[in-house]
Structure 1
Amino acid sequence: MAEVRLVVQSDDFGMLHAVNVGTVKAFRDGIVTQVSTMAACPWFTEAAALAREFGIPLGVHQTLTCEWDFLRWRPLTDGASLVGEDGTFLRSVEEARASVTHEDSVRELNAQVAKFAAEGLEIEYLDVHMGQSATPAAYDEVSSAAGKPFIYGEVESQRFASIETLSDRDADVKRAWLLEYLDKLTPGVHLLVTHCAAAEPELGALHKPGSYTYRWAEEYRLSDQELVMDPEIRKAIEERGIELTTVAAAFS
């Protein structure tokens, strides 16, 4: 076992077709080792089929928000505190914190876990969409019921030597940042979060011009996709003796 182990995670699988296509390619031909998947999203059924076909290690990307202007998704349950006037999830973590109840959160997140089981998918871990917990205790409760780690939980997150996100960096500095990041990895298990997508027209149709989410549509995802597929990045990982792994393998 290598001293330095790296989990490369791609988020938002199931969100839309472009994300599904890019994520599968990043897993099969790139350095992505596990994929966080959104059960409440419109392309989850395709993501489930692809995961079964290619044996992709999955986590539940627990979802209580929907940030896009034109791509909107609804809860799987009927909790009134989960939605805005249009019946879809609230648009920001701040809105969710102000509205969502613990009871509605637990019921919805359990339904998302159950949807994986209905597709015959094995869950390796749970995490959270948009990086912050709207109702923190709900995530721990659902994780305990599922018998799987919530990797951003207070205890579970401490098992990682570091947790970093590649995505939200300017494209012209992202490669240099990633190479420096690999150079500085210390012994232990590290988590690097990415957001991959194929260059499909739908990416540019997620938001209004000037929306606060615009960089998370095409810019961040396409530059992430390019880097996780880059042979020079894989070569750098191999030359540094870094072992690519998953959460389940690293902490089994």
Structure 2
Amino acid sequence: MAGVRLVVQGDDFGMCHAVNVGTVQAFREGIVTQVSTMAACPWFTEAAALAREFGIPLGVHQTLTCEWDFLRWRPLTSGASLVGPDGTFLRTVADAQAAVTHEDAVRELSAQVEKFTAEGLTIGYLDVHMGASVPSAYDEVSAAVGKPFIYSPVEAQRFGSISTLSDQTDKKAWVLEYLDKLTPGVHLLVTHCAAAQPELGALHRPGSDTYRWAEEYRLSDQEIVLDPAIRQAIEDRGIELTTVQEAF
């Protein structure tokens, strides 16, 4: 499998302490190569300190939404279109697409970049939390920062995410098959890692739309990226682990 390069990304760094702890472990002991970091979130300062300590390659996980019931974060700026009645970000991409203006989005995403760089962190790339709410704003901020918006250079057919596989799918088997099918070029595999801490179960109401994202998906992703058999499969297939910054 000569010429196959794989970026393994951990999302939502800075969201909460459990995600920070799990993501650091996934980078240091597992196969995660780069980490998307949320500057608007309450645990960003800890994430920044951990990134500096362990030399973690980072991207800005641009966020215009907040999906949780009990963990709610606010914009860094005052754009009225960014928030719901409680003053926090809107809950869904669809809500944000319907409400957020280009101007408010650019101002907010630029502030997130500024907060990121104020911590002395190097930006390797930019991407988006949950989904693209205002595509024109991501393009403008990416051009201003001079860093790639990650979903542009990595072709769609080379993108994989292990977090939302169906209940009937064996996650480990899926990843092994995914690795088998990789072709020469740069591929992106997205994960959402977290340590098994009570904090995760407190993010949501039981049965809410996002409850499986809070704990179940993250803990199973953590298990996969730390699995020695997955790393061995990568080595056996001659796949090079890399980052977007190194690859483009």
Q: Give the TM-score range, shorter chain.
A: over 0.9
Give the counterpart of 1:168 among 156, 164, 169. 164
CA distance in 1, matches of 2:97, 2:157: 29
CA distance in 1, matches of 2:16, 2:2: 36
CA distance in 1, matches of 2:247, 2:2: 11
Q: Which runs of 4+ in 1 moved over 6 A?
A: none
Identity among equivalent pairs (%): 78
CA distance in 2, matches of 1:88, 1:157: 32
Q: Secondary structure at the match of 2:107?
A: helix
CA distance in 2, matches of 1:147, 1:178: 33
Give the counterpart of 1:237 among 206, 218, 234. 234
Q: Secondary structure at the match of 2:196?
A: coil
Deviation at 1:157?
3.6
CA distance in 2, matches of 1:50, 1:227: 22
Q: Secondary structure at the match of 1:75?
A: coil
1:83-232 paired onto structure 2 within 5 Å = 83-130=83-130, 132-153=131-152, 156-158=153-155, 162-170=158-166, 173-232=170-229
CA distance in 1, matches of 2:110, 2:154: 21
CA distance in 1, matches of 2:24, 2:191: 13
Per the normalisation by structure 2, the TM-score is: 0.97
Q: Report if the CA contact (8 A) 1:161-1:188 is conserved.
A: no
2:159 aligned partner, one-letter code: I
Q: Secondary structure at the match of 1:59?
A: strand
CA distance in 2, matches of 1:19, 1:128: 17
Alignment gaps of 5+ in structure 2: none
Deviation at 1:151?
1.1
CA distance in 1, matches of 2:31, 2:207: 32
CA distance in 1, matches of 2:157, 2:91: 32
Deviation at 1:2?
4.4
1:82 aligned partner, one-letter code: L
CA distance in 1, matches of 2:101, 2:112: 17
Structure 1 vs Structure 2 CA RMSD: 1.3
2:200 aligned partner, one-letter code: L
